[in-house]
Chains A and B, each alone.
Chain A
Amino acid sequence: QKEVEQNSGPLSVPEGAIASLNCTYSDRGSQSFFWYRQYSGKSPELIMSIYSNGDKEDGRFTAQLNKASQYVSLLIRDSQPSDSATYLCAVTGQAGTALIFGKGTTLSVSS
């Protein structure tokens, strides 16, 4: 059973701080990695995708991938109350399997 693990949280950070969200996956052959944000009562929306080892930055968001450690993370700099949401990590397996989602980490940014 391929798995994607996330700490459910809640992760609480003050406004302006860096929020660090972590995800591990079990399928060593996984090729594609995604972070989605889901506000309460809403559907998931894509924040970042990453495919190769290293860092990928987009505005206040940085995704980090380490395939050797089977670990992917999302850093949110200068956290805002509007960042308060559940963040879902999703991973595709090798040979073109569909996305597997983690349970999500709930982030709370206090003003």
Chain B
Amino acid sequence: ETGVTQTPRHLVMGMTNKKSLKCEQHLGHNAMYWYKQSAKKPLELMFVYNFKEQTENNSVPSRFSPECPNSSHLFLHLHTLQPEDSALYLCASSQEWVDTQYFGPGTRLTVL
């Protein structure tokens, strides 16, 4: 498998559930990112990991918890989400953290 993959592609969850989004990159990149894309809004950067270390957290609520066990894998743990958290969650990677970013297909999340 090549590029950036994300699972699941679609997720429906209740506000009391706990779920995790997974991202894997097969490009040998050192930086990985989580973005949120809501309708009519620009892409919102959530978290940046560079060489497995979190370098940026854009005031994201604590109900979103990232995890980066190695340079190839990135998780986003979700708990007690709100309906307004429904969005497309995109993972991206780049060789270095200011380089061209390549995106995964995204996870469409619906919070009921």
Contact = CB atoms under 8 A, between A and B. Distances in A.
The answer to whether A and B assemble together is yes
Interface of A: 4, 31-32, 34, 36, 42-46, 49, 88, 90, 92, 96-104
Chain B, interface residues (CB within 8 Å), range: 10 to 19
Contact of A43 (B33, B42, B90, B100): B90
Interface of B: 33, 40-43, 45, 48, 56, 88, 90, 97-98, 100-106
Contact of B45 (A4, A34, A96, A99): A99
Given A97-B98, A99-B45, 8 more contacts: A4-B42, A32-B98, A43-B88, A43-B105, A44-B103, A96-B98, A99-B101, A100-B45
Nearest to A3: B42
A104 B44 CA distance: 13
Contacts of B56: 98
